[in-house]
């Protein structure tokens, strides 16, 4: 191979991004022999179908990687986040997951997750400046 180059493409098409994700997934499956994968998408919608909250992630390796959990500002503090998190955990159990992991910044939802049984397992201080990024996990499988 000749004339290889590294390119920055912040607005790359979904097809190119999917190619990289799938190539890594194939490597992971080859190493672990764990081929089960499922996306997770749970939404809070109003009567018109507008999205007012959601939980997004991926199931692989017996864990749910919960990448996003969000509720529109006017509905926060009314239990919708807790309901979305519970629905995500229930779906993860249905997929055979033993745990859930997620991350949150210090200005976001650390106390929310901790009240829901999550424990902090890592921290990156000053990310962004003046704040921390926390990594959390919760074991959901019943022994």
Q: Is the pLDDT of residue 143 over 70?
A: no
Q: Is the pLDDT of residue 31 over 80?
A: yes
142 band by pLDDT with thresholds 50, 70 and 90: confident
Write down the residue that tokens 């629905």 correspond to. Answer: 87
Question: Would you kindly state where each structural domain of the chain is located, as residue ranges?
Answer: 36-139
How many CA atoms does the CB half-sphere of 114 hold within 13 Å? 10
pTM: 0.90
**Tens-place pLDDT, residues 69-124:** 999 999 999 999 999 999 999 999 999 999 999 999 999 999 999 999 999 999 99
Please give the distance of CA 136 from its chain centroid, rounded to a whole number.
11
Class for domain 36-139, per CATH? alpha beta
Q: 33 phi and psi, to 5 degrees?
A: 65, 15
């Amino acid at each position: 191979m000749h004339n290889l180059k590294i390119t920055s493409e912040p607005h790359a098409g979904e097809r190119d991004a999917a190619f990289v994700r799938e190539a890594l997934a194939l490597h992971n499956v080859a190493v672990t022999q764990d081929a089960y994968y499922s996306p997770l998408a749970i939404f809070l919608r109003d009567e018109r179908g507008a999205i007012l909250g959601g939980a997004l992630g991926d199931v692989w390796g017996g864990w749910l990687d919960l990448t996003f959990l969000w509720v529109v500002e006017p509905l926060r503090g009314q239990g919708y986040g807790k309901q979305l998190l519970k629905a995500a955990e229930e779906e993860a159990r249905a997929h055979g997951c033993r745990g859930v992991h997620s991350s949150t910044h210090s200005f976001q939802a650390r106390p929310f997750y901790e009240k829901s049984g999550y424990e902090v397992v890592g921290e990156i201080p000053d990310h962004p400046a003046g704040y921390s990024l926390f990594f959390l996990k919760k074991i959901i499988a019943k022994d």
